[in-house]
């Protein structure tokens, strides 16, 4: 019995081995990205234009992607990590292949401002190209917030939640924060008028104090639950990613439940985040990977993706091709004066990160 | 008094059923929801079923998950029976403690550790012997076998140790070979445990996200991976639709199995 099992097992293994090289003859590119993070026809058009088959796999967190890249031989050709802190430290540890820019003529379409911002984590933009980008701001249920704070309330400012008397009034309808110490501390430092890239522990203490003052009024800390809660009217103020809050807005509108959601980039500014396209160092099909990145940098292709996922792309030439509804939404494509106030998460040293994590844990547990 | 007792028993039963089945029912109801919001009712529609049938990614992920679950369940029942038999019948042997520990270790090991260590093992193997050339269905199945076998072993071992050994001995006395005794006597007696173990391993495999995330490779995304990944842009009611279809298939399969078993039981009694 045991030998029979072994034999069957060995046969199965041999089969799977024998099949693999036969498939390699066709040109293929393996993409590793979030689910539904492309337009419905992107892969089809790519195959039609280049003759390369695109296989789209999905992950559910940047951490899983990182674990696979660190283990090596992941087998993926193009991956889409968030620039900070993931792509930054992955580039630093040499996980990515340098781009062959002669194969990427469409690089000329990219937004020079964003490319420059990314050069801070990827010198000379040698490894990666920005994909979609967004901001981390505040989503509000307009009617409930106005009812709680009064018509004349200054809802464009972070004081709306960081002033304890305001937070107290909003507590009844619910406040949520991202459970992410980098994002929350950056926002609190900005509210206090301090340097986001601070190296001083006293600044961190001050930010933690600002949170402690409003801690009793915060309903929960979570990375995605606020999408549904905001759309259903279960919370009225959510610190979250632009794309998520706009999604909540769309859902509330679809459900016709009378919940009126607005995404706000506070006048103090907001964190700008970017997802990037990168080629792992041991990618099996680098030529096809370049072809895919170049294809995505075509204005008409990336504009369709933006229309489908409602995120802004980093392609200047695509601006006129994006649906006006998205292009003119200040939550997705902020006007220039707001753009100037956006900032990227800083590059902190380990000691400060540890200190911040401990401070954040104390805030969350209310100690 | 008696009426009161039957009423309270009935309400406890109703509560138990509600606890188990209301979530599944609400999932099915919302799969017919017009709205994209999973929690707000906006009218009847079957559009999510239509969209699901167009969605190659979810369908191929579901198909992959089912294939892995069946392979895993069958494999772990075979391995689990062997291990259970050794633990229940072979008494004390050299290395028994080590064997027990290794078999039950996956029960208490955090999934993250199993997943990461298997990933590192596969990468090292690939570097040294060139296999597995590409991670995917094979590696996910192997990974699932490692922890499912542990659960199945426990189920089968406990059934075996409750079984009356004298009927096996009687068969041996009457001249049956050990292999024949195993297939003709032991297997039918422990059949319920085998079925339970198979279903348990099937469910564990279909449910697993963490380990599969680590050991999957290009072209192999399982259903839980796709579902969790869609959190980024919103879980769509297509998932409800798919879950409804799976629940229906499982219900039908259980009904058919129940019907067949019922008929066999009847024939056995009549004979």
pLDDT at A5 over 50: no
- Token pair listed for B131: 């296999």
Average pLDDT over residues B124-146: 91
Cα of A254 to nearest chain B Cα, Å: 6
Nearest to A228 among B39, B221, B226 (CB): B39
For residue B1, the model assigns a pLDDT of 62
- Token pair listed for A158: 């972070």
Q: Do domains A25-126+273-333 and A135-270+344-365 have the same CATH topology?
A: yes
Average pLDDT over residues B250-271: 84
pLDDT at A87 over 90: yes
Domain assignment present for B7: no
Cα of A124 to nearest chain B Cα, Å: 30
Contacts of A251 in chain B (CB under 8 A): 35-37, 40, 234
Question: Residues A320, A301: contact at Cβ < 8 Å?
Answer: no
Average pLDDT over residues A72-80: 93
Residues B77 and B111 in one domain: yes
Contacts (Cβ under 8 Å, ≥6 apart) of B261: none
Would the CA dihedral through B238, B244, B247, B251 be positive or negative? negative
What would the pLDDT profile of A95-123 be if each residue is shown by its tens digit? 999 999 999 999 999 999 899 889 989 99
Cα of A266 to nearest chain B Cα, Å: 23
Residues B81 and B171 in one domain: yes
What would the pLDDT profile of B3-36 be if each residue is shown by its tens digit? 888 899 999 999 999 999 999 999 899 899 887 7
Residues B268 and B145 in one domain: no
Task: Name which of A268, A85, A133, A83 is nearest A187 in CA terms.
Answer: A268
What is the Cβ-side half-sphere exposure of residue B146, based on CA atoms within 13 angstroms?
Answer: 21
Q: What distance in Å separates the CA atoms of residue A26 and residue A21, rounded to the nearest whole number?
A: 10
Task: Name which of A339, A361, A349, A353 is nearest A114 in CA terms.
Answer: A339
What would the pLDDT profile of B26-65 be if each residue is shown by its tens digit? 989 989 988 776 667 778 888 899 989 988 889 999 999 9
Architecture in CATH for domain A135-270+344-365: 3-Layer(aba) Sandwich (3.40)
Contacts of A30 in chain B (CB under 8 A): 218-219
Contacts of B226 in chain A (CB under 8 A): 35, 58
Taking the Cβ of residue A353 and every Cβ of chain B, the question of whether any pair is shorter than 8 Å is answered with no
Are β-strands A78-79 and A28-33 bridged in parallel, bridged antiparallel, or unpaired?
A: parallel
Q: 3-state DSSP call for residue B262?
A: helix
Question: Residues A162, A154: contact at Cβ < 8 Å?
Answer: no
Contact B226 A72 (CB under 8 A): no
Read off the pLDDT band of A22 (50, 70, 90): very low
Contacts of A60 in chain B (CB under 8 A): 209, 213, 225, 228-229, 231
pLDDT at A11 over 50: no
Question: Residues B231, B18: contact at Cβ < 8 Å?
Answer: no
Domain ranges of chain A: 25-126+273-333, 135-270+344-365
Residues B94 and B184 in one domain: yes
Read off the pLDDT band of A23 (50, 70, 90): very low
For residue B121, the model assigns a pLDDT of 93
For residue B38, the model assigns a pLDDT of 67
For residue A258, the model assigns a pLDDT of 86
DSSP A95: -
What value does the mean pLDDT of chain B take?
90
Domain assignment present for B82: yes
Residues B140 and B256 in one domain: no
Domain assignment present for B29: no
Contacts (Cβ under 8 Å, ≥6 apart) of A334: A135, A265, A342
Complex confidence, ipTM: 0.82
Q: Provide residues of B within 8 Å CB-CB of chain A.
A: 35-40, 42, 57, 78-79, 82, 116, 119-120, 123, 126-127, 131-135, 137-138, 179, 209, 213-214, 216-221, 225-226, 228-234
Contacts (Cβ under 8 Å, ≥6 apart) of A256: B42
Residues B136 and B253 in one domain: no
Q: What distance in Å separates the CA atoms of residue A365 and residue A215, rounded to the nearest whole number?
A: 9
Contacts of B230 in chain A (CB under 8 A): 35-36, 58
What would the pLDDT profile of A318-333 be if each residue is shown by its tens digit? 999 999 989 998 889 9
Are β-strands A237-241 and A28-33 bridged in parallel, bridged antiparallel, or unpaired?
A: unpaired
Cα of A220 to nearest chain B Cα, Å: 18
Architecture in CATH for domain A25-126+273-333: 3-Layer(aba) Sandwich (3.40)
φ, ψ for residue A178, nearest 5 deg: -65, 145
Contact B57 A75 (CB under 8 A): no
Q: Which residue has the higher pLDDT, A138 or A16?
A: A138
Taking the Cβ of residue A67 and every Cβ of chain B, the question of whether any pair is shorter than 8 Å is answered with yes
For residue A13, the model assigns a pLDDT of 43
For residue B42, the model assigns a pLDDT of 76
Whether the bond between B132 and the residue before it is cis, its omega within 30 degrees of 0, is yes
For residue A125, the model assigns a pLDDT of 94
Taking the Cβ of residue A253 and every Cβ of chain B, the question of whether any pair is shorter than 8 Å is answered with no
Q: Which residue has the tokens 């007696």?
A: B189
Q: What distance in Å separates the CA atoms of residue A191 and residue B266, rounded to the nearest whole number?
A: 76
Residues B75 and B179 in one domain: yes
Q: What distance in Å separates the CA atoms of residue A237 and residue A249, rounded to the nearest whole number?
A: 13
What would the pLDDT profile of B171-207 be if each residue is shown by its tens digit? 999 999 999 999 999 999 898 899 899 999 999 999 9
Question: Residues A168, A292: contact at Cβ < 8 Å?
Answer: no
Contact A60 B216 (CB under 8 A): no
Distances (CA, A) of B80 to A43, A261, B153, B198: 43, 54, 4, 10
Contacts of A243 in chain B (CB under 8 A): 232-233
Residues B112 and B68 in one domain: yes
Q: Which residues of B210-240 are buried (b: 16+ CB within 10 A; e: fewer)?
A: bbbbbbbbbbbbbbbbbbbbbbbbbbbbbbb
What would the pLDDT profile of A40-74 be if each residue is shown by its tens digit? 899 999 999 999 999 999 998 888 899 999 988 89
Q: What distance in Å separates the CA atoms of residue A85 and residue A71, rounded to the nearest whole number?
A: 19
CATH code for the domain of B125: 1.10.3720.10
DSSP A348: -
Residue B162's domain comprises 60-222
Written in H, E and C, the secondary structure of A152-187 is: CCCCCCCHHHHCHHHHHHHCCCCEEECCCHHHHHHH
Cα of A313 to nearest chain B Cα, Å: 16
Residues B77 and B193 in one domain: yes
Residues B193 and B268 in one domain: no
Q: What distance in Å separates the CA atoms of residue B153 and residue B207, rounded to the nearest whole number?
A: 19
Would the CA dihedral through A156, A158, A164, A169 be positive or negative? positive
Residues B244 and B150 in one domain: no
pLDDT at A2 over 60: no
Distances (CA, A) of A338 to A84, A120, A326, A333, A343: 21, 21, 16, 10, 11
Q: What distance in Å separates the CA atoms of residue B22 and residue A46, rounded to the nearest whole number?
A: 45
Task: Name which of B26, B51, B30, B52 is nearest B40 in CA terms.
Answer: B30
For residue B229, the model assigns a pLDDT of 87
φ, ψ for residue A274, nearest 5 deg: -135, 140
Residues B156 and B262 in one domain: no
pLDDT at A203 over 90: yes
Contact B138 A231 (CB under 8 A): no
Nearest to B35 among A58, A243, A255 (CB): A255
Contact B228 A60 (CB under 8 A): yes
For residue A7, the model assigns a pLDDT of 45
Domain count, chain B: 2
Domain assignment present for B38: no
């Amino acid at each position: 019995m045991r030998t029979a099992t072994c034999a069957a097992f060995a046969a199965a293994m041999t089969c799977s081995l024998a099949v693999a090289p036969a498939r390699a003859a066709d040109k293929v590119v393996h993409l590793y990205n979030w689910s539904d993070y492309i337009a419905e026809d992107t892969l089809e058009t790519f195959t039609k234009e280049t003759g390369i088959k695109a296989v789209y796999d999905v992950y559910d967190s940047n951490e899983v992607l990182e674990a696979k890249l660190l283990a090596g031989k992941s087998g993926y050709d193009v991956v889409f990590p968030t620039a900070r802190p993931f792509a930054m430290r992955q580039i630093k540890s040499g996980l990515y292949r340098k781009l062959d820019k002669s194969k990427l003529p469409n690089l000329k379409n990219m937004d020079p401002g964003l490319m420059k911002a990314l050069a801070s984590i990827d010198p000379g933009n040698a490894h990666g190209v920005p994909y979609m980008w967004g901001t981390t701001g505040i989503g509000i249920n307009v009617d409930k917030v106005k009812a709680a704070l009064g018509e004349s309330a200054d809802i464009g400012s972070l004081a709306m939640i960081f002033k304890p008397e305001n937070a107290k009034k909003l507590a009844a309808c619910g406040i949520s924060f991202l459970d992410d110490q980098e994002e929350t501390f950056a926002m609190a430092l900005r509210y206090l008028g301090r340097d986001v890239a601070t190296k001083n522990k006293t600044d961190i203490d001050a930010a933690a104090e600002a949170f402690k003052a409003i801690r009793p009024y915060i309903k929960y800390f979570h990375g995605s639950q606020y999408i549904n809660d905001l759309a259903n009217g279960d919370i009225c103020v959510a610190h979250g990613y632009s794309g998520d809050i706009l999604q909540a807005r769309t859902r509330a509108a679809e459900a016709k439940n009378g919940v009126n959601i607005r995404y706000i980039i506070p006048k103090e500014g907001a964190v700008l985040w970017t997802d990037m396209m990168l080629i792992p160092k041991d990618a099996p099909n680098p030529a096809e990977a370049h072809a895919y990145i170049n294809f995505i940098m075509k204005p008409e292709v990336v504009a369709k993706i933006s229309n489908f996922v409602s995120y802004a792309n980093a392609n200047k030439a695509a601006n006129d091709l994006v649906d006006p509804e998205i292009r003119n939404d200040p939550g997705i494509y902020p006007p220039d004066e707001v753009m100037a106030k956006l900032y990227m998460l800083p590059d902190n040293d380990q000691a400060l990160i540890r200190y911040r994590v401990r401070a954040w844990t104390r805030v969350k547990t209310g100690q | 008094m008696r009426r009161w007792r039957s009423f309270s028993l009935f309400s406890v039963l109703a509560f138990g059923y509600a606890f188990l089945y209301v979530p599944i029912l609400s999932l099915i109801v919302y799969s017919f929801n017009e709205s994209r919001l999973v929690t707000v009712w906006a009218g009847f529609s079957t559009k999510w079923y239509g969209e699901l049938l167009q969605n190659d990614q979810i369908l191929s992920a579901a198909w992959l998950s089912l294939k892995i679950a069946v392979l895993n369940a069958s494999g772990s029942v075979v391995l689990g029976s062997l291990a259970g038999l050794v633990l229940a019948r072979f008494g004390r042997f050299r290395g028994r403690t080590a064997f027990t520990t290794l078999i039950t270790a996956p029960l208490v090991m955090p999934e993250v550790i199993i997943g990461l260590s298997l990933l590192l093992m596969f990468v090292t193997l690939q570097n040294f012997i060139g296999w597995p050339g590409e991670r995917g269905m094979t590696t996910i199945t192997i990974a699932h076998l490692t922890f499912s076998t542990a659960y199945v072993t426990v189920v089968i071992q406990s059934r075996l140790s409750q079984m009356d050994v004298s009927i096996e001995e009687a068969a041996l006395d009457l001249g049956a070979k050990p292999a024949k005794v195993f297939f003709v006597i032991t297997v039918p007696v422990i059949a319920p445990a085998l079925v339970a173990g198979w279903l348990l391993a099937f469910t564990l495999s279909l449910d697993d996200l963490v380990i599969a995330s680590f050991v999957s490779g290009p072209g192999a995304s399982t259903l839980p991976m796709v579902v969790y990944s869609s959190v980024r842009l919103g879980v769509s009611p297509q998932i409800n639709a798919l879950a409804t279809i799976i629940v229906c298939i499982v219900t039908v399969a259980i009904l058919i199995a129940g019907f067949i078993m019922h008929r066999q039981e009847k024939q056995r009694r009549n004979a």
